[in-house]
Amino acid sequence: EDQVTQSPEALRLQEGESSSLNCSYTVSGLRGLFWYRQDPGKGPEFLFTLYSAGEEKEKERLKATLTKKESFLHITAPKPEDSATYLCAVQGGSEKLVFGKGTKLTVNP
Amino acid sequence: NAGVTQTPKFQVLKTGQSMTLQCAQDMNHEYMSWYRQDPGMGLRLIHYSVGAGITDQGEVPNGYNVSRSTTEDFPLRLLSAAPSQTSVYFCASSFGTSSYEQYFGPGTRLTVT
């Protein structure tokens, strides 16, 4: 059974204080690992797809990396507008996405 | 493009009532899915469809029914609402018969009393 565990559950940062969110996964035959951002009261918004170990993708202050067992979402010099819940999901051999419970990030000015 | 739309935005039901949550997309996406999101549980897949006329069960399908008669629409039916179905429901769609890069709707907040 595919599983995704995200840590920490919640993270508070000061503006400009860089950090990383972790997504550990077990899946049979990884077809893709996905990062989403979710703002309160809204649907998740797609950020990145990673397909194989060693792959990295960047978007503004965010960089996602992938190993065979986990993915990291690095946030460099965050701003208050980066505050959101970040969701990780994996797709294995089926057509189904399995999501983690998310990390709630708060960036204080 | 309107993207993925869901109606209603809020709904209150009494136990035993039935209703249909509507979902539509105008991006010509083949893959559509329904999730529920509960505090501390994350997003859980209810049902999904890889194209018109094709549906399959996800992780938590009991108490829900779906059909896919057109590419654009993917309604979710609650057959006999229970308090355990109180949740926020999200519809999503993606290009091709896969879950890659799903686009999510704004959600329906359902309360069953």
- Asked if residue A47 lies in contact with residue A36, where contact means CB atoms within 8 angstroms, the answer is yes
Q: Which residues of A touch B43 (CB under 8 A)?
A: 44, 87, 89, 99
Q: How much is the pLDDT for B103?
A: 94
Q: Which residues of B touch A94 (CB under 8 A)?
A: none
Q: How much is the pLDDT for B89?
A: 98
- Asked if residue A87 lies in contact with residue B104, where contact means CB atoms within 8 angstroms, the answer is no
pLDDT over 70 at A67, yes or no: yes
Q: How much is the pLDDT for B2?
A: 81
| Polymer length of chain B | 113
Q: Mind listing the pLDDT tens digit for each residue in B31-85? A: 999 999 998 888 999 999 999 999 999 999 999 999 999 999 999 999 999 999 9
Residue A95 has its nearest CB partner, among B4, B59, B98, at: B98
pLDDT over 80 at B96, yes or no: no
**CA pair distance B26, B71, nearest whole angstrom:** 9
Mean pLDDT (whole number) for B10-25: 97
Q: Give the residue, B16 or A96, on which the prediction is more confident.
A: B16
Q: Which residues of B touch A (CB under 8 A)?
A: 4, 31, 33, 35, 40-45, 48, 50, 56, 58-59, 90, 92, 97-107
Lowest mean pLDDT among A92-96, A102-106, B51-55: A92-96
**CA pair distance B33, B31, nearest whole angstrom:** 7
Q: How many C-beta neighbours within 10 Å does residue B83 have?
A: 10
Q: Determine if residue B42 is left, alpha or beta; phi over 0 gives left, psi from -120 to 50 gives alpha, anything else beta.
A: left
Residue B106 has its nearest CB partner, among A42, A97, A100, at: A42
pLDDT over 90 at A6, yes or no: yes
Residue of B nearest to A35 (CA): B101
Q: How much is the pLDDT for B97?
A: 62
Q: How confident is the model at residue A35 (pLDDT cuts 50, 70, 90)?
A: very high
Q: Give the residue, B98 or A42, on which the prediction is more confident.
A: A42
Mean pLDDT (whole number) for B7-31: 96
Q: How confident is the model at residue B98 (pLDDT cuts 50, 70, 90)?
A: low
